[in-house]
Chain A
Amino acid sequence: MRIVCPHCGERGLQEFLYHGDATVTRPRDGGAEPTPEWTDYVYLRDNPNGAHRELWYHNAGCHAWLVVTRNLRTHEITAVETAHDVALGRLS
């Protein structure tokens, strides 16, 4: 598997660190009590057998966080965006 980093080009897997599902969003801070939203965010995952949007960190490269769309059955990568752009897109 190789990932095409928007900044560095096509690089081998060993340069990257994985950080799981990129679709979960952090709830706003509530009180001291745990809420179902926090449980969902920290623990529950869709884990689909198909397209998966996931976070990768270009550790041995540009240090960017990336959102990679990858098929979990074939490992085919169909999109790579920077997490920065994805977050900005969420805001607008």
Chain B
Amino acid sequence: MVDKYSVFSVLREALRGHTGWRPAWRDASPVGAYDVIIVGGGGHGLATAYYLAKNHQRMRIAVVEKGWLGNGSIGRNTTIIRSNYLLPGNAPFYEFSMKLWEGLEQDINYNAMVSQRGVLNIIHSDAQRDAYARRGNSMRLHGIDAELLDLAALRAKVPYLDYENARFPIQGALLQRRGGTVRHDAVAWGYARAADRLGVDIIQNCEVTGIKTENGKAIGVETTRGYIPGKKIGLACAGNSSRVAAMAGISLPIESHALQAFVSESIKPLIDNVITFGAGHFYISQSDKGGLVFGGDIDGYNSYASRGNLPTIEDVCEGGMALMPMLGRARLVRHWGGIMDMTMDGSPIIDKSPVENLYLNAGWCYGGFKATPASGWCFAHLIARDEPHEVATAYRLDRFAKGYVIDEKGVGASPNLH
């Protein structure tokens, strides 16, 4: 059992020269059979394990992770959270996630640096103003905060954008004040520690290589650390969902794609919101260390290589320069890529799989970080009770066959365009 973190523990350790801190979670090995095995120790897998242990009946739970905890997209994303969705299947789910973020740090006793600094979507044309007004109205109908800022209000808030740009004129913005950023890897560590405190075994360096079935039911997983029997198995292998589902003979409406992220050298505080460019794909915020954290489009073709190519870097930087030319003065110090499940409609899947006792959490595209708490909560609900949580009923696997796709962007079955 790990100590509770508090002001007193920080003071105590300050006086003891920080000699008393203990590892935040046990480095567990597989032991015997489990009631639930979660495959994938990213944000969603760890959150699922935590909410399973916290919200449901007593169970033996394991999370098996092929690498180290947090090696995947949970530790690679640009940390933006928001619930500014338009469609009915999405809005209640992402708002539920936002509410969980708001209470997360107290709940898991971990500082995840949840910062509701506001997300500004910049508007560049009349049509875009109409679209954002509609989105804002739809959000408000769902009880989500949204404000449409006119040019004067936006200028007062962020004076440093290129308001003279003739090609991409700025008209205003849609603002969600409750949106913002969260320290991404702290989310993985915080959930891991909280799950561990409730008895969950977190087993790292343990790659699932096969899913064992008997009479059409999943009964355990083959791993690089041996066979692990489990009554229920939940897949949360963002980026690799197709590969792992294929082990059980399941084909998914998913392509794996690379998304890159970029960080500049540290500068003095400049950007105190998240800002997105509406005439291209570019988003930016500033970390507490001072680095400008930004990104844009996915590379656009299937990839399992956790790195991207130069044309996308150029495209992202062009978007940034069109919005705030001063960016050109900052040096880019780091960039990296992560692999994501891109679905055919741009929305995720939280559902039972065609194989009994095998559950699926997949298809988070490039927006799954903000979903982490709700995804874990709803996936735990599904696994424990065998029925979907009320805010996740639209995320069915059979929606593609039945024509109930949730296509926020309206681009059809082209994963690289969502």
Chain A residues packing against B (C-beta within 8 Å): 1, 12-14, 18, 20-21, 34, 36, 39-40, 42-47, 49, 52, 54, 72-75
- Binary flags per residue of B392-415, CB closer than 8 Å to A gives 1, else 0: 000000001101000000000111
Q: Known contacts being A13-B309, A43-B413, A75-B305, is A18 close to B300, with CB within 8 Å?
A: yes
Query: In the assembly, what is the distance between CA of A40 and CA of B304, in Å?
Result: 22
| Shortest Cβ distance from residue B8 to the other chain A in the assembled complex, whole angstroms | 49
- Cβ contact within 8 Å between B403 and A18: no
| Shortest Cβ distance from residue A25 to the other chain B in the assembled complex, whole angstroms | 15
| Shortest Cβ distance from residue B51 to the other chain A in the assembled complex, whole angstroms | 29
| Shortest Cβ distance from residue B66 to the other chain A in the assembled complex, whole angstroms | 13
Contacts of B403 in A (CB 8 A): 34
Query: In the assembly, what is the distance between CA of A42 and CA of B113, in Å?
Result: 42
List residues of B (361-418) whose CB comes within 8 Å of A's CBs. Answer: 400-401, 403, 413-416
The prevalent SS among residues of A at the interface is mixed
User: Can you name the residue of chain B whose Cβ is closest to the Cβ of A18?
Assistant: B301
Query: In the assembly, what is the distance between CA of A18 and CA of B344, in Å?
Result: 15
Query: In the assembly, what is the distance between CA of A32 and CA of B303, in Å?
Result: 35
- Cβ contact within 8 Å between A47 and B401: no
Q: Known contacts being A1-B309, A12-B311, A34-B401, is A44 close to B253, with CB within 8 Å?
A: yes
Contacts of B212 in A (CB 8 A): none
- Binary flags per residue of B231-250, CB closer than 8 Å to A gives 1, else 0: 00000000010110010000
- Cβ contact within 8 Å between B400 and A43: yes
| Shortest Cβ distance from residue A21 to the other chain B in the assembled complex, whole angstroms | 8
10 A-B pairs closest in CB distance: A47-B242, A43-B253, A43-B400, A18-B301, A39-B401, A44-B251, A72-B304, A43-B344, A49-B304, A14-B311
User: Can you name the residue of chain B whose Cβ is closest to the Cβ of A50?
Assistant: B304
The verdict on B255 contacting chain A, using a C-beta distance below 8 Å, is yes
B residues contacting the other copy or chain, number (CB 8 A) = 26
The verdict on B271 contacting chain A, using a C-beta distance below 8 Å, is no
The verdict on B256 contacting chain A, using a C-beta distance below 8 Å, is yes
- Binary flags per residue of B30-65, CB closer than 8 Å to A gives 1, else 0: 000000000000000000000000000000000000
A-B contact pairs, 10 of them (CB 8 A): A14-B311, A20-B416, A45-B252, A45-B255, A46-B242, A47-B256, A54-B301, A54-B302, A72-B256, A72-B305
**Which of A12, A20, A47, A73 has the most chain B CB atoms inside 10 A of its CB?**
A47
The verdict on B274 contacting chain A, using a C-beta distance below 8 Å, is no
Contacts of A40 in B (CB 8 A): 251
Contacts of A13 in B (CB 8 A): 309, 311
Query: In the assembly, what is the distance between CA of A52 and CA of B304, in Å?
Result: 11
- Cβ contact within 8 Å between A20 and B311: no
Contacts of B242 in A (CB 8 A): 45-47
Query: In the assembly, what is the distance between CA of A47 and CA of B253, in Å?
Result: 9
Query: In the assembly, what is the distance between CA of A32 and CA of B166, in Å?
Result: 49
- Cβ contact within 8 Å between B305 and A73: yes
The verdict on B322 contacting chain A, using a C-beta distance below 8 Å, is no
A36: which of B254, B344, B401 is its contact (CB, 8 Å)? B401
List residues of B (261-320) whose CB comes within 8 Å of A's CBs. Answer: 300-305, 309, 311
Query: In the assembly, what is the distance between CA of A82 and CA of B414, in Å?
Result: 22
Q: Known contacts being A13-B311, A20-B255, is A75 close to B303, with CB within 8 Å?
A: yes
Contacts of B240 in A (CB 8 A): 49
Query: In the assembly, what is the distance between CA of A83 and CA of B256, in Å?
Result: 23
Beyond known contacts A20-B302, A42-B344: 4 more, CB 8 A cutoff:
A20-B416, A46-B251, A47-B243, A47-B255
- Cβ contact within 8 Å between B252 and A44: yes
- Cβ contact within 8 Å between B309 and A42: no
Q: Known contacts being A45-B253, A47-B252, is A20 close to B414, with CB within 8 Å?
A: yes
